[in-house]
Structure 1
């Protein structure tokens, strides 16, 4: 794993992502491109995925019948330099006109582990997102909210990545990075315009595939996940990162 300095990230795919966000409001960065941009050679994604074995139960989702594991952390990110700062632990609160299930609800999740925060894949992904997001706004510092998720499905329980349905997060940039899938079918991600027209639909099926959206003018949802082999559970592991001006 090579952690590229901020200026070394390949220009062409970053510019393509920036242009797509401005023109369409959404973009999919293929796994091979993301892998190159963040320097995640060899088995880096599989090593990164091991952090998902240390997630904790999301009791708020459980109360609504969805089985989901997660942790949460908040960072400052200076896009010009790539400097990353860890912000104090705080509840996760979504603003008005965003997730209809949890508007105004203080949700407290287990913090990110130290090994996750220090992981060079995570840090390279965060810097990449900071560069892409400056197509939408140009703050001196981004506020990054970081959520590693695992959605679990079984023969008698559908995995619900977005139990709230179609929604926005109340941020500038919303991103979803596939880290791993095991025994999983379904989980199609869709991005919609404000008029309800579907702008993009993709099933994130290869580790490193990155879905980007301008959350100010789009909504998104993910279809249920189900096991291919009904005798075993299905897992969908993603890293969701949102950016707003800090």
Structure 2
């Protein structure tokens, strides 16, 4: 049975109108760009305003990246990456967020060329991560954006906290598969932190290969969203600024697809 993380009383009252929620103008701009262009970058200040995340809450949220586990599938291909994985249901009509039972991560055909139809088993999100109010705020924000693309009764949200590690003799590869789709409706990447890291430029393309957008997520809180049904995305390698110290790029990748 799905486990409701939030107070069940929340489900009794519908969420307030979208235009009255924090960051309404930023959300409206992002929704319009998703529909017209297929991708959008929300500045860090705008994202954090939408989330209502004070500095202390954000620092607590970012600390979850210190407890990620090795991605053995990536290491088989020479990439040092840490991650965890979980999935939630999100009900737009009520704003309800439910943690779903842990299951293997499988990407559909015509998406990621490295792992199509491969069952990958990752360590689950820690209970404190799964219950973090900032994560719930992120899911609700993404739900506001995803509704510009589709309006299902329930969304399935797959949550992937990533840390890509680079060193002087081994660049980090956020997307070792190159340009790809995730086989979902909305795909997003939220920068949580960077340390001693250069590179890591995010690019979004249309299905004909024309570049729609290129940006380096450099300020924590910057959010890149895309309509995954009609775009491809990739991230360039990460390298250390100082070769004597490791480089980290911490990001939260969340996808939304109708449940």
TM-score (norm 1): 0.97
Q: Figure out how many residues of one structure are paired with residues of the other and give that number.
A: 242
Q: What is the match of residue 139 of structure 1? A: 152
Determine which of 54, 67, 71 is the counterpart of 1:58: 71
Q: How does 1:123-202 map to 2 (within 5 A)?
A: 123-202=136-215
Question: Which 4+ residue blocks in structure 1 deviate beyond 3 angstroms?
Answer: none
Deviation of residue 45 (structure 1)? 2.4
Determine which of 6, 19, 24 is the counterpart of 1:11: 24
Distance in 2 (alpha carbons) for counterparts of 1:214 and 1:10: 21
Determine which of 89, 95, 98 is the counterpart of 2:108: 95
Unaligned ranges ≥5, structure 1: none
Deviation of residue 6 (structure 1)? 4.6
Q: What is the match of residue 256 of structure 2? A: 243
| Higher mean displacement: 22-31 or 36-45 | 36-45
Q: What is the match of residue 243 of structure 2? A: 230
Q: What is the match of residue 9 of structure 2? A: none
Q: CA RMSD in A?
A: 1.0
Deviation of residue 42 (structure 1)? 2.2
Secondary structure at the aligned position of 1:146 is classed as: strand
Secondary structure at the aligned position of 2:256 is classed as: strand
| Higher mean displacement: 37-46 or 18-27 | 37-46
Secondary structure at the aligned position of 1:43 is classed as: helix
Tell me whether 1:206 sits opposite 2:219 in the alignment: yes
| Higher mean displacement: 80-89 or 93-102 | 80-89
Tell me whether 1:121 sits opposite 2:134 in the alignment: yes
Deviation of residue 10 (structure 1)? 2.7
Unaligned ranges ≥5, structure 2: 1-13
Q: What is the match of residue 124 of structure 2? A: 111
Label 1:6 to 1:27 Cα distance change in 2 as closer, same or farther (>3 A): farther
Distance in 2 (alpha carbons) for counterparts of 1:212 and 1:35: 15
Distance in 2 (alpha carbons) for counterparts of 1:44 and 1:159: 28
Q: What is the match of residue 42 of structure 1? A: 55
Distance in 2 (alpha carbons) for counterparts of 1:174 and 1:197: 18
Q: What is the match of residue 5 of structure 2? A: none
Secondary structure at the aligned position of 2:55 is classed as: coil
Distance in 2 (alpha carbons) for counterparts of 1:108 and 1:127: 26
Distance in 2 (alpha carbons) for counterparts of 1:211 and 1:45: 18
Distance in 2 (alpha carbons) for counterparts of 1:98 and 1:47: 33
Per-residue CA shift, 1:149-204, capped at 9, x if unaligned? 00000000010000000000000000000000000000000000011110000000
The answer as to whether partners of 2:41 and 2:224 remain within 8 angstroms in 1 is yes
